[in-house]
Amino acid sequence: MEELDSAILGGGCFWCLEAVYTRLDGVKSVVSGYAGGNVENPTYEQVCTGETCHAEVIKINYDPIKTNFETLLEWFWRCHNPTTLNRQGGDIGTQYRSVIYYENEIEKSIAHKSKKDADSSGIFENPIVTEIHALEIFYPAEEYHHDYYKKNPDAGYCTYIIRPKLEKLKLE
């Protein structure tokens, strides 16, 4: 049985990130959820108030033989705008912040180096505001959030936000 590693990333709406990462080689599963807050087992409605301090995130389970944390972070910088504070497009609030959660010192070091390299690359006009924190706990989101794009490809958000993002990244 293969051993999988995991990564927890937040970059706006978890539906968008989930749709991107499920298409990457070596990614075995992606689970939408919440992290970084002060409420146990939060609901979507609670997180949307901004009062729980949770971010919408995804948990990526990946095969470390086929991909790695560095590659996942390269896609992270490409698939959202890490220079906007608490916002991605029309999604506004602290739950949409750009954040990398690390699970060990190696991931912490990789995350900081990746952010520094992305910030100095000249790709972004403004400074990167992505937060980097130790993961305390990940809470899976409610079932209806899982595989949202796959289950609802014709929903408005999918049609006007997710699909164009996938097309721009040449993933669809």
pLDDT tens per residue across span 16-26: 999 999 999 99
| Pick from 24, 118, 134: nearest CA to 78 | 118
Count of structural domains, the chain: 1
pLDDT of res. 1: 64
**Res. 2: pLDDT tops 80:** no
- For the whole model, what pTM was predicted? 0.96
Q: Tell me if residue 142 falls in helix, strand or coil.
A: coil
pLDDT digits (tens, 9 = 90+) for 112-124: 999 999 999 999 9
Number of H helices and E strands in the chain, helices first, is 7, 8
Q: CA-to-CA distance for 161 and 172, rounded, in angstroms?
A: 13
Contact in structure between 98 and 130 (CB atoms under 8 Å) = yes
Q: For position 58, which CATH number holds?
A: 3.30.1060.10
pLDDT digits (tens, 9 = 90+) for 120-167: 999 999 999 999 999 999 999 999 999 999 999 999 999 999 999 999
**Structural domain harbouring 123:** 5-168
Q: CA-to-CA distance for 159 and 153, rounded, in angstroms?
A: 7
Q: Which residues are catalytic?
A: 13
Contact in structure between 57 and 95 (CB atoms under 8 Å) = no
The two tokens of residue 49 are 């108030």
